[in-house]
Amino acid sequence: MSQFLYLYRSSDTARQAAMGTPERAQQSMQRWMKWMRELETNGHLKDAGQPLERTGKVVRGHQAVTDGPYTEAKDLVGGFSLIEARDIDQAVELSRGCPILDGGGSVEVRPVMKMDM
């Protein structure tokens, strides 16, 4: 088994659209919980991860500290999870059920680097 990081990306508009009305928010919530639970039951969820605030600071060079990333930025990382899968193909396959895709967001699937000895 290998480990993969899911980075959940969405724009602010996609995030608002997924929210929509209270009833839509509830449905969206239920889909997320169902998807997460499935990953967990099938032993693929190593760590559910954490949600991230959409603002912070960006440090570049030694002096420059700027506000950001900007919320207008397309595809801001809003959270992450750590997944266990056979290979990248399976990790990609598992991500297809992620509700963020319905709202126009994306899942970035990144293999965790392994120490090959």
Binding residues (CB under 8 A) for another protein: these are: 15-16, 18-26, 28-30, 32-33, 36, 48-51, 78-79, 81
Nearest to 32 by CA among 42, 19, 46: 19
Q: Which C-beta is closer to another protein: that of 1 or that of 48?
A: 48
Q: Which C-beta is closer to another protein: that of 34 or that of 74?
A: 34
Q: Which C-beta is closer to another protein: that of 3 or that of 12?
A: 12
Residue 19 beta carbon to another protein: minimum distance, rounded to whole angstroms: 6
Residue 81 beta carbon to another protein: minimum distance, rounded to whole angstroms: 8
Residue type, 33: M
- Sequence-distant (≥ 6) Cβ neighbours of residue 29 within 8 angstroms: none
The backbone region for 68, taken as left when phi is positive above 0, alpha when psi lies in -120 to 50, beta otherwise, is left
Residue 18 beta carbon to another protein: minimum distance, rounded to whole angstroms: 8
Q: Let me know: does 29 contact 114? Beta carbons within 8 Å.
A: no
Residue 76 beta carbon to another protein: minimum distance, rounded to whole angstroms: 12
Which H/E stretch holds residue 10? strand 2-10
